[in-house]
Amino acid sequence: MNDRPIPPPTDRREALKSRHRRAIIDAAAALTAERGDTGFTVEQLAERADVSRRTVFNHFRSLDDILLEVFGRMLEEIVDGIGANLDAADDGTDDDGANIFDSLADAIRGTDLLTPITRLKHFVRQGGGTPPAGRAALFERAMTDVGTRLSAIVMRRHPRADPLVVDLMCGAVIGGGAVIVEHWERITGGALDDASRRVWSTLLERILTVTRDGYGSVGTT
Instruction: For residue range 60-99, list pLDDT tens digits in order.
Output: 998 989 998 998 888 888 899 999 998 887 655 555 656 8
Domain 1-60 has CATH 1.10.10.10: no
Residue 90: φ, ψ to 5°: -60, 125
CA-based nearest residue to 179, from 210, 148, 158: 210
pLDDT tens for 149-201 read 999 999 998 899 999 999 999 999 988 888 898 899 999 988 889 999 999 99
Whole-prediction pTM: 0.74
Query: How far is residue 74 from each of residues 37, 62, 167, 176, measured CA to CA in Å?
Result: 13, 19, 22, 18
Q: How far apart are CA 116 and CA 77, in angstroms?
A: 8
CA 177 and chain centroid, separation = 11
| Poorest-pLDDT segment among 18-27, 57-66, 95-104 | 95-104
Is 166 in contact with 182 (CB distance < 8 Å)? no
38 in helix, strand or coil?
coil
Residue boundaries of the structural domains of the chain: 1-60, 62-217
